Chains A and B, each alone.
Chain A
Amino acid sequence: MSETPRTRAQFVAMAGAFTGGLLVPRAARAAAAAGTDRAVVGRLLLLEQLQEAFYAEAERLSALTGEVADAAQALGGVERAHAQALRELAGSAAPRVPRFDFRGATEVNGAFAATAVALEELTVAASKAQLTRVRSPEVLEAVIAIHSVEARHAAWMRSLAGMPPAPDALDEPRDAEIPARFLETTEPRTTARRDPTFPA
């Protein structure tokens, strides 16, 4: 027997389970679609899609164990929500999803944690570099709320990897692209949902 929402509140709660509860204000979507923030949102979306794919692959393979597996599942849900929120912001300007290759890092706890640290640190630094380029207050409010969550993830993954969660007093911005080693091919796919890595 399937469960269906019986009240508006239940529906919202269920939707929250899919989106992680991260709702993008309509004004933010309009601002991103209409303004110069589109490029910023597109860059951030690529990084979130990279993470989304990484954690989704880990979940799909189910090879991780213990705390690392628990963290992968938790972060996977959050990154899906971030990617979905940014896709909403980007609208029709959403970039195509590259094909990623994590080279086995989603199958072994140690490699997974080390790669997760690298991805989270990359996202924190690259998101920071984009913040000052945002023109719309609504879009800024949305992306900075994601930025600090990525920093929490970085600390969490660093701890799991046996590294200091907050090694420096200041986190510097860095203009960074997705490292080539994570890109399987330069041929883009048309949509994320055609990739079996991404659950529909």
Chain B
Amino acid sequence: MRAAMTRRRALVAGGSGALIAAGAFARSGSGAAPSAARSQDALAFLLALQRVEAGFYASAVRAGALRGELASFARAAADHERRHVALLEQALGARAPADATTEVPDDLVRRPGRFALTAVRLEDLVVRACNGQAVNLAPDALATVATIVSVDARHAAWIRELVGMSPSPETADAALTARAALDGLEREGLLE
């Protein structure tokens, strides 16, 4: 599994290789309209994040260890994230990077408490990462991502409420850089 996860990190990062190369993990230059290439890189990076989410929830549903509303949440999120992935793949067309292996450590999806806390941190992270890439997206791509990010924000609120946390703890979902997002996924055990 280690090899598969390492490959996944490479693919997530590789999906935005040009962003990395340009040192543009934070944002595009102020006032400059994002180029088509930069927009595609940002979209590819967000696709990789959505694939991580989709893999996480699909694994949880397959594992069958969740019960009650937590199980309902996992099923709904799995369905939504699968559709988010499909939408971004469609938007990127032939430029969509190859899918990564989506193995997830059993511990994350078989223990309800661990699953829920991972889901909270994952959803919060993806919302902020999407917001962070907004300035790198061309208008069409931004319109596509905007239909997704608010649903992920709903997921974040939903799972937060399920674990007894405030559904909306901040006044703003501050932008997260791609590098910080990758580091966060690694901390959660979703990347190595």
Q: Which residues of A contact B (CB under 8 A)?
A: 19-22, 27, 31, 74-75, 77-78, 81-82, 85, 124, 128, 131-132, 136-138, 140-142, 144-156, 159, 164-166, 168-173
Main secondary structure of the interface of A (DSSP, over half): helix
Query: Do residues A131 and B134 form an inter-chain contact, with CB atoms below 8 A?
Result: yes
User: Which residues of chain B come closer than 8 Å to A165, judged between CB atoms?
Assistant: 154-155, 157-158, 161
Residue in B31, B127, B131, B156 whose CB lies within 8 Å of A141: B131
Query: Do residues A170 and B87 form an inter-chain contact, with CB atoms below 8 A?
Result: yes
Give B124-143 as 1s and 0s: 1 = Cβ < 8 Å from A's Cβ atoms. 00010011001100010011
Among A77, A131, A146, A169, the one with the most B-chain Cβ atoms within 10 Å of its Cβ is: A169
Q: Which B145-192 residues sit within 8 Å CB-CB of chain A?
A: 146-158, 161, 166-168, 170-175
Main secondary structure of the interface of B (DSSP, over half): helix
Query: Do residues B170 and A149 form an inter-chain contact, with CB atoms below 8 A?
Result: yes
In the A-B complex, the 5 residue pairs with the smallest Cβ-Cβ separation, listed nearest first, are A151-B150, A20-B171, A166-B154, A151-B153, A152-B168
Residue in B77, B142, B152, B171 whose CB lies within 8 Å of A81: B171
Q: Name the CB-closest residue of B to A158.
A: B154
Q: Is B8 an interface residue (CB 8 A)?
A: no
Q: List 9 A-B contacts (CB under 8 A).
A: A75-B168, A132-B146, A137-B27, A141-B131, A147-B149, A149-B168, A166-B155, A169-B84, A170-B84
